[in-house]
Amino acid sequence: MSNTSIPPEIIDRYLLESGILERVYFRVLSSETGWRKPHPAIYGEALDMAGVSPEETLFVGDRFLEDVAGPKSVGMKAALCRFEWIPFLEMSELSDEFMPDFQVSELRELAATV
């Protein structure tokens, strides 16, 4: 899932050339759906495409608003990847309902976490 204004054909060409397209079942682009994260409709689109419910879904991302608060607002669990090079807002005063369920600093940590 990506917030992007880049046309889907260009995204797909990049995903194909980089070998990523053959490893994913689907992709959700704001340029196709008309919705941008954190709008609930874009997560609903992904859930429909995957054929799963929010309760059985873990959304993984590196941005708090788009990848944690947005997914949690529709009932998904969320994992926040806290890469060193990305600045983060102070989360100590946030409501528990929008706190990430998991925090990792590398994607490979997810397997042991979930």
Task: Delimit the domains of the chain by residue range.
Answer: 8-113
In this predicted model, which residue has the larger pLDDT, 66 or 107? Answer: 66
CA-to-CA distance for 110 and 114, rounded, in angstroms?
Answer: 6
ω into 38 cis (within 30 of 0): yes
Output the average pLDDT for the chain: 89
Q: Which tokens hold the place of 3?
A: 């917030």
pTM equals 0.84
Give the percent of the chain with pLDDT over 70.
89
Would you identify the CATH topology of the domain 8-113? Rossmann fold (3.40.50)
Confidence of residue 89 (pLDDT cuts 50, 70, 90): low
pLDDT at 91: 58
For residue 31, with 0-12 CB atoms within 10 Å meaning exposed, 13-18 middle and 19 or more buried, which class applies? middle
